[in-house]
Amino acid sequence: MHHANHFYGHAHVMAQYAGLKGSPRIWGYLQHGWNILDGFAHGTSFVAGMPKFVWTDSVRRRGFSMGLRNYSVIGAPWLYLLRVHPELAAPQTDAVGTIFYPFHGWEGQHVLGDHGRIVASINEHEAGPVTVCLYWNEYENVAIRQVYESAGFRVITHGYRGLHWRRTDADFLLKQLKEIREHRRVASNRLSSAVLYGASLGLQPGVYGDPMLLENEHPSFGGQARIKRLWPEMDQPYVPLDQAREFTDTELGVANLACPAEIREMFRW
């Protein structure tokens, strides 16, 4: 089925949880990131009658209002990863500093903005050591990477998410979990999956700085204005942790997790 099911190693994580090996094909469409619309990328061509596996009921309701059907609410693959690796779900006493995720593009759309302004924002709000995690295409851009390295930040990438079943790093999400666990705080210039992941582990989250622009971003998502309007409490340098956890538990779908046998049945494994 759809190649996006394998982004970030999600199919691999779900298979581990379900007691299988490898990264088997999922019978349906799996939401691969935090989404403020129907759960999927704009323009996704759905095969009629195929199931859509999403994180939360709010995504299902939005999709339903758009005429889409066959939704199953199962929670985020990130939560299943924490079940597979409970030792990494526990707090780390030696965690230090901030991990910052600049908003990134992908193969089909680039980010437009000034990374130097992001550096200035980080210096304004962060006191301890900073790790900047770039998506692979920004990381491979030496000019972008050097902006952060010259500021004295540790610069990393979690790897390649994959595209059309090629070069997928099955351990992408696990690498992200290990890195986040090394820090006390998570931040980004946009509210994103990474901020939710960090907050779910108890890291102090923050959202600040130039949100940048996504090249040819489709207006159906409503852009940053919609996110700020719907969740203003999450748009500040230091988000109160109790508010962040409530938001994160809802948006990741903590109450919606399925058991291994249910996953095997739904995914036709």
User: What are the φ and ψ backbone dihedral angles of 115, each rounded to 5 degrees?
Assistant: -65, -25
Report the C-alpha gap between 170 and 14 in whole angstroms. 11
pLDDT band at 230 (very low <50, low <70, confident <90, very high): very high
Q: What are the structural domain ranges in the chain?
A: 3-86+253-266, 92-248
Instruction: Give the list of residues 6+ apart from residue 122 with CB closer than 8 angstroms, or none.
Output: 98, 100, 130, 132, 151, 153, 187, 209
Q: How far is CA 114 from CA 124, 126, 136, 142, 223, in A?
A: 16, 19, 18, 15, 18
- Amino acid of residue 40: F
Q: Which CATH architecture has domain 92-248?
A: 3-Layer(aba) Sandwich (3.40)
Q: How far is CA 136 from CA 101, 154, 196, 249, in A?
A: 12, 15, 20, 28
Q: Does the model's pTM come out above 0.85?
A: yes
Instruction: Mean pLDDT check: name the lowest of 78-87, 88-97, 120-129, 139-148.
Output: 88-97
pLDDT at position 131, please?
98
